[in-house]
Structure 1
């Protein structure tokens, strides 16, 4: 962290705790952010903004019963604000092999998923709330209650948005196998 925020951390004595938190969560935050935004640079910006807000509130975050839930809520809110302001950058896949490197991959088997590109493109086309519900429920593997807390809505809203999102993903071109093969849940494409 640069500037006054970095100086403040040194005086708090909490900078090491915050740094350990960031190092331990970085990959997961990046993948979740990528699934929310659909674009590498937008994902990096979202994680940076999320971590800046987390750092400012680190005392409160570190004392929270579930710091990960607190940070997820910051990320979802920041993404929603950017989306409302018109800063939408969707993944545009044209079969270009350069897009294989858009997702931050560190030994992640997700990169080997045959339908990865189709799934990510379809995910990027979902409306904001459906995308949030699908990512939080099936990527983050949150309960409906936890996803509702992260999204700031009711459990029913999470259920309906997740169901609509999954239905749209299953009907998307290139995902028909996952949509018709009931032995393979669609969310496995997000994990594999």
Structure 2
């Protein structure tokens, strides 16, 4: 017996009224979010309505609708990125802005500028330009020993001045002071 379009719509509405709450709970359990569950249910009901004529009676409709829910949820899960979820309250997370590092670097360079010219040149060439002692000596036209002594004096003066300001060398995992390119520690 072939039912008319009006009968099919009435049957579908009756099905939606009777089973949509249960299907929505299933959709929520699949999606984990009420908004996504409602969207998922709408898609499943639309696909079920489009297949209504092919379904053999009311007994086949609910299993079909549940299968559509599962398949659609799986398809969405594979397609979407799940790294962010909207929330009412954003967590407070301090984000380092690098201000402390910049202030420390500025304080360091202020003290480097106060060093005698040769000591400043040795530090810039050795630690900023990353030249070896031999290359630094050749570039400045002095002996390697002079480079070593000027570097030692300059670092001692910087450590003393920075220590007076409460700026201590950074420590690495083994407890030794770290040398960072562009900064003297």
Query: Shorter chain as normaliser: what TM range?
Result: 0.3 to 0.5
Higher helix fraction: Structure 1 or Structure 2? 1
Larger Rg: 2
Q: Larger relative CO (CA 8 A, sep 6+): 1 or 2?
A: 1
| TM-score scaled by length of structure 1 | 0.39
